Amino acid sequence: MKTFKLTALSFLMVVLTSCKISVKTLPEKTTVNSAQELHNISLNGKVFSAVWQQNAGEFRALCYQAYNLAQIRIDENLKIASTKPLAIITDIDETFLDNSPYAVTEAELGKDYDAKTWMNWTAKGEAKAYPGSLNFFNYAASKKVPVFYISNRDENDRIGTLKNLKDLGFPNADNEHLLLKSTTSDKEARRSEVLKNYNVIIYMGDNLADFSKMFNKKSQAERNELVDENYSEFGKRFIMLPNSGYGDWESALNGYNHQLTPAEKDQVFLKNLRGY
């Protein structure tokens, strides 16, 4: 019994110490305007998504599932003759870099994405990799299949992004293979550049627009119809990674209006919810 008490006490102390450390590392909630904001669906949604992304075994399993499938597709394609060298195109954020710490810190401040604070985060180059991603991309490299990183991070993020990729050990972490946003978030022109010289066998992303321009700026209903029409591409040419925290699905619901306040977004979300 004494051993149990001591063990329980030690456990409690560890928990309290952990709590103290974790609370200390969070920024002060200086910009939360009202209690209402703390109960805001969009901001709390970011936090809930981050809790899942950072803790759920199910999240990890989905990542492994996607990367295992992608590896199967590489092996299949290596057996088929190609006139051009093979390549992979991948998105970065929430496709293999985990930015949930950024979402948590922003939500703690009562804020959603903001270009300036986003740059502060990317400049650190400290995002962790999605489970299975590093092994997969290095497997591709071992088979002489290069990866092109097509991301809507912009040029201000280049140094931090390359540092992040290099520190984690991702292949092709150089300027030639990192195609960032310059004038448009539409990735089609950058995909076309790669396609001039390569046979792109897999597209990887967490957002439909990472795969094809057909998904760009479509309404929520159109996006879902297109996904249904193209269902056979998913798990084949298109490999989708999990991201419930943000994406064009959210923008589509909001009519691609990026000026909405969190409270206004809530109204849209509530209109698009089904109960029973």
Q: Which residues bind Mg ion (CB under 5 A)?
A: 91, 93-94, 206
Q: Compare residues 153 and 265 and give the one whose CB is closer to Mg ion.
A: 153
Residues whose CB falls within 8 Å of the CB of residue 206, separated by 6 or more in sequence, listed in order: 91, 93, 94, 95, 240, 241, 242, 243, 247
Distance in Å, CB of 136 to Mg ion, minimum: 16
Distance in Å, CB of 95 to Mg ion, minimum: 5
Distance in Å, CB of 239 to Mg ion, minimum: 13
Distance in Å, CB of 18 to Mg ion, minimum: 30
Q: Compare residues 24 and 258 and give the one whose CB is closer to Mg ion.
A: 258
Q: Compare residues 207 and 254 and give the one whose CB is closer to Mg ion.
A: 207
Q: How far is CA 28 from the centre of its chain?
A: 26
The CA distance from 206 to 246, in Å, is 9
CB 44 within 8 A of CB 108: no
Distance in Å, CB of 94 to Mg ion, minimum: 4
DSSP string, 83-144: SS-EEEEE--BTTTEE-HHHHHHHHHTT----HHHHHHHHHHT-PEEPTTHHHHHHHHHHTT
Q: Compare residues 37 and 202 and give the one whose CB is closer to Mg ion.
A: 202
Q: Compare residues 37 and 45 and give the one whose CB is closer to Mg ion.
A: 45
